[in-house]
Amino acid sequence: MSRIAALAAILLLSGCQSVSNIYDGWFGGPKQKAAELVQFEARATPRIVWRGSVGGAQRNAFYPAVSGNVVYAAGASGQIAGFAANTGDSQVRFDAGTPLSGGLGFGAGLVLAGTARGEVLAFDASGKSVWKTQLSGEILSPPAAAEGVVVVRTGDGRIYGLNAADGKQRWVYQRALPSLAVRSFAGAVIYRGGVFAGFPGGRLVAIALETGNVGWEAVVALPKGTTELERVTDVTSYPVIDGKQVCAVAYQGRAACFDAIRGETLWARDVSSIAGMGLDARNVYVTDERSAILALDRNSGASVWKQDKLWGRWASTPLALGRYVIVGDFEGYVHVLSREDGAFVARIATDGSPIQVPPVALDLSTLLVQTRDGGVFAINIQ
């Protein structure tokens, strides 16, 4: 499927146009025939350690949140559940009292959620409401919190810093959105006193957590082409960060890594991605727009390997976990690839519905996925 075909259907949303066909593979099944599952010799053994259930995601994306030994998950109807990370035993289950529009965040002792009406909801670990704050636009991504600040991204191009104690606004960062933008469910990453987020137009911004002041702004990719559709160049996924560098990837653009302190470009190469990237000590892993999984050397961006047998299966963001790289797909399969060469080493099915949000590491050999139908699965790989 060409990039222009992927952009052919457009929805009017919150004052700007938002590409919808990008997500048809997750929310309605792919329009083109997806690659058949390939046969391979299994070299790892995945097993479902436990499974839980919350409400379905409908047309949103619900990220689970992990706090210590508790996994929190939510669905669009407002149901929120906490599971023991090692056993899946129910720890808490409550109702937010309103439909939710994005995944959960956890920080500062709070379980955090958002609504399509722009409400930020904060609960304590038992499900008791702590505060509610009204913001300017729908909240599609999980709020985050650290150092007494709750960071929330809204669909109108703003990032808010709120007091964790009472939800009152401390600062707001805003940038104008282009007339065409890909609908994104990615929020902001808090790391060592900074807030990092990608934006439409191929920009990556670093903001001070305490004050909201801009530390630096970097160009992941510049728009190209003559039509508005061709010039859509959006960072639609989370940046990935370690102590020295922050990396991001843009749709119809590039993958790039920057100095985390100064924002200087370390390397960049042409890659188009909606799903995003993962990172380990050796490589950056990117799911491109055709669901090929790419391993790039994290120091230079040079190609290490490419796994292209998941074409059209709408593979998720890659998770680097020990010796493996893990992605989910639109049929709820979890694919386990070798970190060394990208070969398939294992596969396991969940509930048959799309895995549209990144897998989450629970420990060095166990990961968590949440499906569109609300299944929560802890999977161990040996």
Q: According to the model, what pLDDT value does residue 6 have?
A: 37
- Give the chain's residues under pLDDT 70: 1-32
- pLDDT tens column, 357-376: 999 999 999 999 999 999 99
pLDDT, position 32: 60
Domain 62-184: give its CATH architecture. Beta Barrel (2.40)
The pLDDT value given to residue 15: 38
Average pLDDT, the chain: 91
Domain boundaries, the chain: 62-184
What's residue 31's pLDDT? Answer: 53
pLDDT at 255: 97
pTM over 0.85: yes
SS (H, E, C) the chain: CCHHHHCCCEEEECCEEEECHHHHHHHCCCCCCCCCCCCCCCCCCEEEEEEEECCCCCCCCCCCEEECCEEEEECCCCEEEEEECCCCCEEEEEECCCCCCCCCEEECCEEEEECCCCEEEEECCCCCEEEEEECCCCCCCCCEEECCEEEEECCCCEEEEEECCCCCEEEEEECCCCCEEECCCCCCEEECCEEEEEECCCEEEEEECCCCCEEEEEECCCCCCCCCCCCCCCCCCCCEECCCEEEEECCCEEEEEEECCCCCEEEEEEECCCCEEEECCCEEEEECCCCCEEEEECCCCCEEEEECCCCCCCCCCCEEECCEEEEECCCCEEEEEECCCCCEEEEEECCCCCCCCCCEECCCCEEEEECCCCEEEEEEEC
Residues 314-352 have pLDDT tens digits of 999 999 999 999 999 999 999 999 999 999 999 999 999
pLDDT value of residue 132: 98
Give the Cα separation of 11 and 17 in Å (integer): 6
Residue 194's pLDDT is what? 97
